Structures are given as structure tokens and as C-alpha cells.
Amino acid sequence: MASAGIAVALVVLIGAGLVVLVALTRLAARLRRPDARNDLEYWVGRQSRAREPAPLPWTAMVVLTFVAGTGAVSLQMLLYSVAGLRFGVGTIAIPWLGALIAIAGLPHARRTAVAMVSAPASVSRSSRQNSIALCLTALIALQIAYAMFFALSFSIRGWDSWEFWFMKARILFTHRALTPDFPPGPSFADYPLHMPLAVSWLYAAAGSVQDRAAKVLYVLQFAGLLIAFNGLVRSMTSRMHALFFTALLSSVPVLVIQGAGLPPGVDGFGLYEWDQVGYSDLTLSLCFLLAGGLVCVAFETKHAVCLYWAAFFCGVGAWTKNEGLVFACLGASAMVWAARRRIVFGRELIALAAIILVFILPWSLYKSLLHVSSDYMRDTRARMNVGAFRNVPIVLSGLGSRFLKATGPINLWFYLYASTVILNRRRLRSSPALVVDFLVVSQLMVYLCVFVMSPQEIRWSVSTTMSRVILHVAPLGLLAAAVHAFEWGTPGGGWREDQVAAAE
Amino acid sequence: MTSRTWLYLAWFAAWQICAIPLYRAEWKGSVIAAGLYRASEEDRRFYADGPVYSVLHTAQQFVPIGGSALFITPTIDPEGWYLEGKFKYYMWPRRLLLVPAARLRQERTMPDTDGIVLFDPRGQLADVVAFLDGLPALTKVHELSLGRTYQAIYLKRH
């Protein structure tokens, strides 16, 4: 019964995500109508006749709808609480069901929805390529199978999961609302509630607190991250290239620790770095990948709708963890950059900013009304003194140990990223991945500054959180590495799969 | 094969070699998960929580919902926090107050709660146990020694 409830909850999430993405696409089409050169109607409105492929493979689009669904449903639950309504399965699912029926009834919206999940044309490959692709796919599938098998074998085991993420979900489920006395209860009251609300939605559908079954959300995010990564890279490079880099990403230890968990006693990892399923870092990493990856795809393919979706995932990221606020600002800067490159009109920037703010404003207002603030924001001026610079060597050595240790939590990520940037240095300025480089490096720089001014004991803070904050940008960094490597190895550079196929 | 293919192959090999500790841990994890395949929910919880599970399970039965309990550990940080987080999560909606053994030894007084949960992973709290045993207002309702781990639950006498 509980499993059936959770299955229904997941279907509702995907349905809600589909509604949101169709609405964003229609909004983009409406705002861009005067633009004849880059008219979105071309593929969202007359898809069946034009045979223009959707910007991403259908598998990646399913992941986009799933993540958009968790973001939208959790925001809906917050708004219900603010309006004094208690959330239940019916009250949450019925509006989305109504919207799906409306989409099915409206021809333009229906065509948009169908276009979103239509895969790009397949490309013929040699038998040798097929066998390599099979091996790489098997490796990725094995990692996902391990995550399913291990994570769902027992309940949560990570400290942050008990202390606040799942604790908040438990409290929210019991009250069926966000009560005014909620934030002072569990620790880290200022943390956004995207994942606690998403987990409590699963509990509501299951009818009880099922923390073992609710871990499926994280396993799906792990699988979704790999699938979305593959789709994003594939839309800018080739199928083999995308599979190669996805296989590498699937064996990044910190990703497995957050999506599946490992048994205790693994050598070479930091404190508590063996099972962190139930934390929100994987979710944030997925949001960053989707937002940054879609911006990159927009730069490469000039599909402006990708920027609308990217803005949405920037907002969901800010609604997942406070670190997402910084990324949302960086994402907004990338959109201004896109406007300068004439991918979107200047007037569309207002719409893009509004999409991001839809997720940032409600929680910010709620926190300010209840006077909830972050430890990091308290006494900032007092901490910005010369003494804080004593932390710099500790923070840099912590970062260096994660980056440079080959068998550490991020494997050879740093070496691969740095070497592809160096190899592609001649085309760097014209590369669509430059915008991803900007996002990754800027986000890491902000983290370093926050560590230096951290109110926590610095060694403790670095040892417990450094790997996790690198995880936030690791998949996005690997995406940039994949694009750089492809451009370096392809004469002329910047050839996508469809162009390669045409050349063959 | 082109030089580019060789480079990709070298990267892949290096990456996989560095991932060996991960794969080894995954293999170990798979063996554990396979062992739990037909296990009951209780056995799964016991695996995830270790010896903490039995004291938690008992405390949930004795401390009333909406009530409060005192949680005594040998240390506060970081092991005490780690255990406190787990206790808080499973005991909710009961209120849990963490008291380090050192403070109890010093002050010899305790806040007024419905029960006391004592978890001692390394057998360091014999004096605290003796002190609690000697308090007439308390009844010991649970006691278990597993190797060096000692756990007990006391309830207030009514």
C-alpha cells in the first residue's frame, strides 16, 4: 500500500513538472513571437510538420520534468501553508491533474508537451562503436542498480538527514503544514524546504513516515543526474562522447555517497563520508547541472527556451539550499550574457528574473517575518577582519587535498577538468562551455570566501563539508570538460551529433 | 587508433584505477544488502543503527508521545552530537535534552523529564550508572550490555 502511494506521488511529480515546463515553453513562445529568425513556434507549435528535434533527448526531458515537479509541488505545499491550508494527496494532486487535462485539450500546449518528449533522430554507428557503447552503458547501469539495491535496503544513516532534512519532513508530515513554530524546532531553520517538503509529500501519499522508501527520491536523483548529464552532453557533442563522460561521472565517489551510500570504513574519505543519502547536496548538484547545462545548450544551439528552463532550475536550486542563491545570481548573469549574444531579447530578462524569484521570494519573506537568519549571515562584519585570513591556508589545503588526491571523493575530476580547459585553450573564448566555466569557478570562489569567514570551527567545517560543496559543481564541471574535450578533438570544433551524422 | 582515442583510453583506465576503492566498497555494500534481502524491518534497522537501535526501540515504548527524555552520553562533540541527532529523530515528537556525563558528574542535578536514556558506547559511565541507580525517584526499566556498549532507560517513579 505504501509502495503504491509512493509510486502515485512520483507520477504526480512528473505530471506537475510537465505542466510547468509546458507553461514555460508557451511563455517563451509568446514572448518571442515577433522574432522571426529564432521563432520558438517553429518547434513547439509545428513540431510534427517541421521535424525539428527537441533541444534534448526525451530521457533528459523526463529528468527535467521530475526535478521541476519536486520543485513545483514543494513550493505549492509552502504556499498552502502560508494560506493556512493543510496539504493532502487530493489537495496537491488535483490542481496538477486539472492542468494536465487542460494541456491535453489545448492543441498548442499538447503539441508542446509531445515535442518535449520526442527524441532526436538516431545516428547510425559501426559495430565496434556499438560494443564500446554497450560496455559504457553497462557500467552506468551497474552504478544505478547498486544505488537502488543498497540505498533502499535500510533507512537513513547520515547525520544531516536525522538532524534536519528528514526531521523536518517528519514534522511537516505530522502537521500537514508549515506551522509558525516550525523553524525554531530542528537545527538549521533557515535552510530552504524543497527536499523536506518533497519527502513529506511522499509520506503523505504513503500515509505514514516511510523513511526507507522515501530514499527512492535520492536514488532517482542519482539516476536522473547521470541521464540528464548524458542528454545535455549528447545534445552538444556525440552519443559516444556523452556516454564516455557519463561513465566517468557515475564513478565519482562523492556522488555515489550521496545517491546510494557506502558501508562504513571506506579508506581515504573524510569524516562521515560514507553514507549521505537524504542530504540536499545531490539535489542542488542536479539543479546546478540542469541550470548550467541548459544555459550551455542555449549558447550552443540558440534555443532560447533552454534559458527559460534554466531560470526555473536556478530558482529550484535556491529553494534547495542557501548556496543556490549564489548560483541563481550567477545564472542570472549568464542570462544577461545570453542577451548580449542575442540568444534572448533584453525584454525577456525580466521574465527570466521573475521565474527565478518565484522560488526565492516566498521563503525569504517567510523567514524575514519569523526573524529566522543564517549563522553565516550573523555578525558578518565582525568576522571580516584580518584574523579571518588566518583561515585561508586551512581552506586552500582542504580544497587542494580534495582536488589533488586521485583516490579521494572526486576521483580525477580536477585533473580532467583542468587538462581539457588547457587543451581547448585556443577555442575557449568562442566555446559555449565558457559560460559553464564561469559558473563553476565563480561558485567555487564564493565557497572559498564563505569558508574563510565561517563562524564554525574552520578545520571541522572544512573536513565535514568540503567534499559536499565540490559535489555541487562537479557534474557541471565535467559537462564543461566534455564539451572542451569534444571541441579540442573535432576539426572546426563545436560539431553536434546531428552535424556529425550529416558529415558522415 | 588515433592519438585522441589513445588519450581517451588512458583517461578511462586511470579513472577506473582510481575508482577501485569505490568499487571495493560497493562490492562490500552489495554483499551486506544481499544479506538483508529477506530480513525483517527490525533487522534492517538494527544494521543501520547498530546497538543504538535496541535502546531507541525500548525508549519509544516507555516515554510517552509528547513527553520528554534526558539523553546522557559520555561526550558532546562530535560523537555525542551524532548520537543525539539519531535519538532526536527517532524519539520525535518526544522532546530530547542532551546532557554530557561530565556536566552530570559536576552538578549532580537533572532537568525534570519523563525518562532518562543512557547510551555509553565505550563503558565509561559506570559512576553515572551507580549515581542514577541510587536515586529513589527513578526506576530502571531497561538495561543491556553488548560488549563495551552499555545502555539503560530510567523512568520517573509516580
Same domain? For B70 and B18 the reply is no
Percent of chain A with pLDDT over 70: 86
Distance CA A74, CA A143 (A): 28
Residues B54 and B27 in one domain: no
Q: Residue A232: is its pLDDT beyond 50?
A: yes
HSE of B24, CA atoms in CB hemisphere, 13 A: 11
Distance CA(A359)–CA(A70), nearest Å, equals 12
Give pLDDT, residue A503: 45
- Between chains, do A167 and B92 touch, taking CB under 8 Å as contact? yes
pLDDT band at residue B1, thresholds of 50, 70 and 90? low
Q: Is A380's pLDDT higher than 70?
A: no
**Is B74 found in the same domain as B17?**
no
Q: What pLDDT score was predicted for residue A48? A: 41
Q: Mean of the pLDDT values across residues A195-205?
A: 96
Q: Are residues B60 and B104 in the same domain?
A: yes
- Which residues in chain A have their CB less than 8 angstroms from residue B32's CB? 150, 153, 263
Q: Which chain B residues are within 8 Å of A412, Cβ to Cβ?
A: 11, 14-15, 18
Chain B residues within 8 A of A244 when measuring between CB atoms: 8, 12
Number of domains in chain B: 2
CB A475 within 8 A of CB A255: yes
Distance (Å, whole) CA A495 – CA A480:
15
Tens digits of residue pLDDT in A405-441: 888 889 999 999 999 999 999 999 999 999 999 999 9
Residue A156: closest C-alpha in chain B: B48
In this structure, are residues A332 and A314 in contact, taking their beta carbons and an 8 Å threshold? Answer: yes
Residue A181 pLDDT? 65
Contact A130, A157 (CB under 8 A): no
Chain B within 8 Å of A268 (Cβ-Cβ)? yes
Residue of B nearest to A267 (CA): B21
Looking at residue A120, what is its pLDDT? 61
**Residue A96 CB partners (closer than 8 Å, separation 6+):** A12, A15, A16, A19, A73
Q: Which residues of A are less than 8 Å from B92 in CB distance?
A: 167, 170-171
In B, minimum Cα distance to A255 occurs at: B22
- Amino acid making up residue A345: F
Percent of chain B surpassing pLDDT 70 = 97
- The closest CB to that of A262, out of B29, B41, B88, belongs to B29
The reply to whether B80 and B128 lie within a common domain is: yes
B14 lies in the same domain as B72: no
Residue A46 has pLDDT above 70, yes or no: no
Please tell me whether residues B27 and B60 are part of one structural domain.
no
- pLDDT tens by residue, B59-86: 888 888 888 898 888 776 667 777 888 8
Element (H, E) at A184: none
> Largest Cα–Cα distance of chain B, in whole Å?
83
Summarised one tens digit per residue, pLDDT across range A62-105 is 999 999 999 999 999 999 998 989 989 999 999 999 999 999 99
Report which of A392, A375, A393, A355 is spatially closest to residue A455, judged by C-alpha positions.
A375
**In this predicted model, what pLDDT tens digit does every residue of B7-28 receive, in sequence order?**
899 999 999 999 999 999 999 9
The DSSP output letter for A56 is S
Pairwise CB contact (< 8 Å): A155 & B22: no
| Cβ neighbours around A381 below 10 Å, total | 6
Q: Are residues B130 and B147 in the same domain?
A: yes
pLDDT in tens, A111-124: 888 877 775 645 55
**pLDDT per residue as tens digits for the range B42-53:** 888 888 887 888
pLDDT band of residue A270 (cuts 50, 70, 90) is: low
Distance (Å, rounded) from C-alpha A170 to C-alpha A209? Answer: 7
Q: Does B29 contact A163 at a Cβ distance shorter than 8 Å?
A: no
Whether B87 and B61 map to the same domain: the answer is yes
The candidate with the shortest Cα–Cα distance to A388, out of A449, A446, A452, is A452
Residue A32's pLDDT band, with cuts at 50, 70 and 90, is confident
Mean of pLDDT over chain A: 87
Helix axes of A281-301 and A58-82: crossing angle, nearest 10 degrees: 120
| CA-based nearest residue to A374, from A183, A194, A197 | A183
pLDDT at B111: 78
Give the integer Cα–Cα distance in Å for A204 and A88.
Answer: 6
Which residue intervals of B78-125 are DSSP H helices? 79-91, 101-107
Interchain CB distance below 8 Å, A248 and B15? yes
> What average pLDDT does this structure show over A306-332?
97
B75 and B18 both lie in a single domain: no
pLDDT at A186: 63
Do B59 and B15 reside in the same domain of the chain? no
* Chain B interface, Cβ < 8 Å to A: 4, 8, 11-12, 14-16, 18-23, 25-26, 28-30, 32-33, 36-37, 41, 44-45, 47-49, 78, 81-82, 85-86, 88-90, 92-93
Please state the rounded mean pLDDT for residues A152-180.
89
**How high is the pLDDT of residue B114?**
87
Task: Tell if the CB–CB gap between B33 and A150 is shorter than 8 Å.
Answer: yes
Q: Beta B95-100 vs B68-73: how paired, if at all?
A: parallel
- What pLDDT band is residue A379 in, cutting at 50, 70 and 90? low
The residue range of the domain holding B18 is: 3-38
Residue B50: phi and psi, rounded to 5, are 65, -150
CA distance A232 to A67: 15
Are B15 and A267 inside 8 Å of each other by CB? no
Inter-residue contact A271 to B36 (CB < 8 Å): no
> Which of A161, A173, A209, A251 has the most B C-beta neighbours within 10 Å, making it the best mutation to test the interface with B?
A251
pLDDT band at residue A45 using 50, 70 and 90 as cut-offs: very low
pLDDT band of residue A333 (cuts 50, 70, 90) is very high
Predicted pLDDT of residue A349: 96
pLDDT higher than 90, residue B120: no
Position B5 scores a pLDDT of 83
Q: In this predicted structure, what is the pLDDT of residue A179?
A: 79
B94 and B23 in a common domain = no
Q: How many residues does chain B have?
A: 158
Residue A50's pLDDT band, with cuts at 50, 70 and 90, is very low
